């Protein structure tokens, strides 16, 4: 009887919990987007560089406020290097770089997409999948909070626009993988 009640409770909890642990896309707002991750709060800064041509540069960076001084920058670990920003390059034809951000509970993931070639080329796209990580061991040369690269994966298909690749091949980087 106890086993039967435990199974019923488990089924009820699982049925009620998908919303608690579902991956939620984070869309950049006009400039600063505040993201609540349980006890942590981080902010995303989204900026635009108009170059008076068809190829502007947008940038994305994250930070955490610091009541005792300057904000704490949250860099991206890509190819074993810490990068302060993600550059998003697009043109009239296609985007050559792009990103997606997600949260699930107190976890956060950023996916940076890049492809080689010229503006109108169709190529396979490389995804750098990064999860927000605390440097709890206080490792040297490592920030207190950063996006740790957990996976590099290349799309199956070829794309001109990396945003289409991010949408079409989202199964490659979903949280819970």
pLDDT tier at 27, thresholds 50, 70, 90: confident
Q: How many residues does the chain have?
A: 177
Strand boundaries in the chain, DSSP class E: 24-26, 32-37, 40-49, 57-64, 72-74, 76-78, 81-83, 86-89, 97-104, 107-114, 123-134, 145-159
pLDDT tens digits along 124-171: 999 999 999 999 999 999 999 999 999 999 999 999 999 999 999 988
User: Is 168 or 91 the better-scoring residue by pLDDT?
Assistant: 168
Q: What is the pTM of this model?
A: 0.83
| The pLDDT value given to residue 81 | 95
Mean pLDDT of 97-126: 94
Indicate the domain borders of the chain: 21-172
Average pLDDT, the chain: 86
């Amino acid at each position: 009887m106890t086993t039967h009640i435990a199974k019923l409770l488990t089924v009820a909890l699982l049925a009620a919990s998908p919303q608690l642990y579902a991956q939620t896309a984070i869309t950049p707002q006009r400039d600063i987007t505040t993201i609540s991750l349980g006890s942590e709060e981080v902010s995303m800064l989204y900026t635009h560089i108009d170059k008076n041509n068809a190829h502007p540069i947008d940038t994305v960076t994250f930070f955490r406020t610091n009541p005792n001084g300057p904000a704490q920058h949250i860099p991206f670990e890509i190819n074993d290097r810490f990068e302060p920003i993600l550059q998003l390059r697009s043109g009239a034809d296609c985007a050559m770089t792009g990103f997606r951000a997600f949260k699930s509970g107190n976890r956060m993931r950023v996916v940076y997409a890049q492809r080689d070639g010229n503006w109108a080329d169709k190529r396979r796209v490389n995804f750098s999948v990064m999860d927000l990580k605390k440097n709890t061991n206080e490792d040297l040369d490592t920030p207190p909070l950063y996006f740790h690269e957990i996976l590099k994966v290349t799309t199956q298909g070829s794309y001109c626009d990396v945003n289409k690749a991010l949408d079409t091949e989202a199964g490659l980087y979903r949280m819970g993988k």
